[in-house]
Amino acid sequence: MLTLSQVRRTYGDTIALDGVDFVVPENTYMSLLGASGAGKTTLLRLIAGFEEPDRGAISINGERIDGQPSHLRDIGFVFQNFALFPHLTVFENVAFGLRHRVNAPVKNEKEIKERTDNALELVGLDGFGHRAVSAISGGQRQRVALARTLVTEPRIVLLDEPLGALDANLRARMCDELKAIRERLKVSFLHVTGSETEALMMGDKVAVLAEGKIVQTGAPDALFAEPLNAASARHMNAWNIFEAGLCTGTVGQGPIAVRFDQIDVSAKEQSPDARPHLQARFLTGEFNGPTALFFFRAKDGTLLQIIDHLSQPRLPDLVEGENYDLHFAPDAVRQFQGAA
């Protein structure tokens, strides 16, 4: 189990991580979701030992690892750009960590070949060892980078936006393969991403990092359906967050959130009396195959989004520039404390 306790990291006057408490359980695929600049890569670099925290503790199974050199931590790191050696073959790239690691390098060529071949087979690249890394696809390079990490049998694997350089079809396939590989190995993966779809799809558990803090951790379905704060809701990219004062009807005070798919639309001043509602101007629509996303502007300037499933459409015909009533069930509202 990886544990971070009150970890802080600053760069001059900039606070990258501010008292982070975070746990990655044993045998778990953990997603870490955060926007650009939230501190995701800094957190990985601290765990891996490429940097040290200003304060706080990092431990694996109760053993402090902060302060230890990176090569003594038994942690694997898969970089976003793969960081392969272009002059080496696939086999030589994977074997490099065994041959040249500082702590107990492997000298026996038979063992190197056996472990490297096994790692390539694990990631679906059996028979690719002789190829140049420049002669294989992006997805295959991703697998080589993963095999190079796994061949050293790390205690935990860190993945820094590992799917970001892949096209959409390959990204979806690699998601399945990464989960299957982790399940076979029974080690924990910590997968950092800025995509809420990727985080929810990949993680057994998902943690949200915002403004240098972990603001919520939980199962993907619970995190999506029940964000605890505005920061978590915003990272799900499925919730409208706006001031309760915009609404007619009893919805509380301060910032509230209603999911994109739980808001209905009617002509101005024709909302069902029992439902909370607010007025907003229709801006435009965006069609995405089986769904459509519609954009509205509330009176205070807040952008509101409504998703409609075209197999069961519920929205009326909308005219750009016209005002409409947006209404929702009282139990669709999430109430948050503090500023939105």
Domain boundaries, the chain: 2-227, 238-335
Q: How confident is the model at residue 224 (pLDDT cuts 50, 70, 90)?
A: very high
CA distances from 325 to 25, 264, 280 (A): 46, 8, 7
pLDDT of the residue at 192: 94
pLDDT score of 47: 97
Complete edge-to-edge strand list for the sheet that includes strand 255-259: 239-243, 255-259, 334-335
Q: Residue 45's pLDDT is what?
A: 95
Higher pLDDT: 41 or 81? It is 41
Closest of 324, 331, 287 to residue 309, by C-alpha: 287
Widest pairwise Cα distance in the chain? 79
Task: Please give the pLDDT value at position 83.
Answer: 81
pLDDT at 162 exceeding the cut of 60: yes
Q: Provide the token pair at 332.
A: 């669709």
**pLDDT, position 249:** 80
- What order do you get walking across the sheet with 264-267 strand by strand? 264-267, 323-327, 277-288, 291-298, 303-309
pLDDT, position 271: 63
**Residue 164 clears pLDDT 80, i.e. is over it:** no
Domain spanning 2-227: CATH 3.40.50.300: yes
What 3-state class would DSSP assign to 258? strand
How far apart are alpha carbons 174 and 142 in whole angstroms?
A: 9
Q: Summarize pLDDT for 4-32 with one digit per residue, the tens.
A: 999 999 999 999 999 999 999 999 999 99
Q: Out of 2.40.50.140, 3.40.718.10, 2.30.33.40, 3.30.1340.10, which CATH number does the structure's domain 238-335 have?
A: 2.40.50.140
Q: Which residue has the higher pLDDT, 71 or 238?
A: 238
Within this chain, domains 2-227 and 238-335 share the same CATH topology = no
- Quick: pLDDT tens for 94-104: 999 888 877 77
Q: What is the pLDDT of residue 338?
A: 58
Residues with Cβ within 8 Å of 127's Cβ and at least 6 positions away in sequence, in order, are: none
Mean pLDDT score of the chain: 90
| Tokens 């902060």 sit on residue | 66
Residue 44, φ and ψ in degrees, nearest 5: -65, -40
* H helical segments located in the chain: 40-48, 90-100, 109-122, 138-150, 168-185, 196-202, 220-225, 230-236
3-state SS class at 172: helix
Q: What are the tens digits of pLDDT across the range 39-51? A: 999 999 999 999 9
Q: Does the pLDDT of residue 259 top 60, yes or no? A: yes
In the chain, count of helices (H) and strands (E)?
8, 18
- Report which residue type is found at 4: L
Under the banding of pLDDT at 50, 70 and 90, the label for residue 171 is confident
User: Who wins on pLDDT, 165 or 254?
Assistant: 254
pLDDT at residue 138 in the model = 81
pTM here is 0.88
* Per-residue pLDDT tens over the stretch 114-139: 999 999 998 888 889 999 988 888 88
pLDDT on residue 124: 86
| pLDDT for residue 63 | 94
Asked if pLDDT for residue 143 goes beyond 90, the answer is no
pLDDT of residue 339: 55
> Are 179 and 19 contacting, i.e. CB atoms less than 8 angstroms apart?
no
Q: Is 234 helix (H, G, I), strand (E, B) or coil?
A: helix
Beta bridge partners of 323: 281
pLDDT reading at 165 higher than 70: no
Give me the mean pLDDT over the 189-197 stretch: 94
Q: Using N-to-C axis directions, what is the helix angle for 168-185 and 109-122, rounded to 10°?
A: 120
Alpha carbon 108 to chain centroid, angstroms: 39
pLDDT of residue 104: 79
